[in-house]
Amino acid sequence: MKKRVALFFVCAILTLSLTLTGCTPKPADTQSGAETVKVGWIGSLTGDQAVWGTCELNTVKMLFDDINAKGGILGKQIEVVGYDTRGDATEAVNAVRRLTSQDKVVAVIGPNASGQAISISSVLEEMKVPDIATVATNPKVTVVDDKVKPFNFRVCFIDPYQGAVAAGYAYDILGFRKAAVLYDVADDYSQGLTEFFEKYFVEKGGEIVASEAFKFGDVDFRPQLSRIKEAGPEVIFMPYFFKEVALSANQARELGIDAVLMGGDGWPSEVLLEMAKDAIEGSYFVNHLDFDDPDVQDFKAAYRAKYDLPVELNGYLAYDAVQMLVSAIEKANSFDPVAIRDALETTQVKGITGQINVSKETHNPEGKDAAIIKIVDGGYVFQQKYSAD
């Protein structure tokens, strides 16, 4: 009987020990001994921006498939784990928590939207896993109150720069002096671009003759556009995404508005051209690259061959985010997320959207030129590289 009791207690203690060990979270860098290392991705696979998210995830998977076929990174194969944020900030937080706590990824790529990228900061810092946002341009993605967020990075230029580029090009190159703005009051990206476009356009000597707001989900922009029409602008700045751009551009032309339309990097999509080809003819937008640049043609061809789809803007930024991450892992010579973070702070890599020199003080790529694109005959025609400096 005593032997049975003793055996019972030994088994109970052993079971308790195994249970406690199994419940203890494993740090992400335990993957360094595994044959496969996981990299996360988040973005919109459903909703209005699904076309962008799908292209991003396709790009990330395609690139890592190619890297794996060539032997992987530091002798390890890379597994991409992607989650749909549904275009929602709360879903983005949930996705990053799942990636870092359950999937044990060493880094996250995405999202493209500023609101989602801002919302995930606390989880990244808690779990000590770095993230590289793709087309999230709001300054608060990486810096708040002059303090850099330790685990947030990005591969794109930011709204103050993009807004200044749009304002400078409209005033200095196109010669406009009266501008109106139509923006999404519910979107961080749209508000940020509006703020900086208005600031720089006025500083140059221009006048904002009307500034009208709508809220995401609206489909009728005629009341705001009617007021803009009365103000008589030469150019209307529309800093929001392609679906709403198409709807509002069509309605502007229906109202007899002939002002030049202008936007930011939320514009470029095949969907925009399909929905509003005639209405946006002759419009301009700020972009991250020239789609016809010889340096991007191999990627475009490979993507189309694999997916039978054209590359959306986000694919190019996702491409460079992968380049950044691979460079950082190789520089750190480690899959430890903190070591990768440290390496990302001084990344210098030639991407297909330009030279990427990350600043340790901002976690942004500093000094990237913007590309001005004009819509001509239903296509995107590069005008020039343009700097706000």
86-114 residue pLDDT tens? 999 999 999 999 999 999 999 999 999 88
Q: pLDDT category, 238, cuts 50, 70, 90? A: very high
Domain limits for position 193: 159-287+371-386
In contact, 331 and 25? CB cutoff 8 Å: no
72 and 201 part of one domain: no
339 and 243 part of one domain: no
363 found inside a domain: no
Position 15 scores a pLDDT of: 40
Give long-range contacts, CB 8 A cutoff, 24+ apart: 294-301: 295/352, 296/352, 299/352
21 found inside a domain: no
For residue 19, pLDDT beyond 90? no
CATH number of domain containing 175: 3.40.50.2300
95 and 183 part of one domain: no
Q: What is the pTM of this model?
A: 0.80
153 and 168 part of one domain: no
pLDDT in tens, 303-313: 999 999 999 99
1 found inside a domain: no
275 and 297 part of one domain: no
108 and 89 part of one domain: yes
Residues in the chain: 389
Mean pLDDT for the chain overall: 91
For residue 49, pLDDT beyond 90? no
H/E element, 201: helix 188-203
Angle between helix 242-254 and 222-231 (nearest 10):
60
2 found inside a domain: no
For residue 389, pLDDT beyond 80? no
Domain count within the chain: 2
For residue 10, pLDDT beyond 70? no
State the Cα–Cα distance between residues 75 and 135, nearest whole angstrom: 30
Q: What is the mean pLDDT of residues 210-214?
A: 98
For residue 388, pLDDT beyond 80? no
147 and 273 part of one domain: no
Position 369 scores a pLDDT of: 83
111 and 167 part of one domain: no
DSSP state, 186? T
For residue 331, pLDDT beyond 70? yes
322 and 231 part of one domain: no
